[in-house]
Amino acid sequence: MRGQDEIELAIGERVDAGDGRPEVEILMRFEVRRRSISVGERLKVSLAEFNEIAFACDFLGQQLASRLPKPKLDISEV
């Protein structure tokens, strides 16, 4: 957020809150995208699309892993 406006960051862009503070809070939002293909049709994705898909899968995996119950380690079994 820059003031009350939501902005999108770009590669190489300087991050500035616009209010003189040295700290900047960066928030993420996910955008749902859908694609349909016919049976037998080749799926073509650009490098940018592949990067977005890979990032989303990694993020989902991290979120799932952080919510799994933590195993209790019994020291006597080691």
- For 47-65, the pLDDT digits (tens) are 988 998 898 899 899 999 9
> What pTM value is reported for the model?
0.54
Q: What counts of helices (H) and strands (E) characterise the chain?
A: 1, 0
Q: For residue range 6-47, what is the model confidence (pLDDT) as tens digits?
A: 878 777 877 777 777 777 777 777 788 888 889 999 989 999
Work out the number of other CB atoms within 10 angstroms of the CB of residue 56.
13
Strand partners, 2: 5
Tokens 């049976």 found at: 39
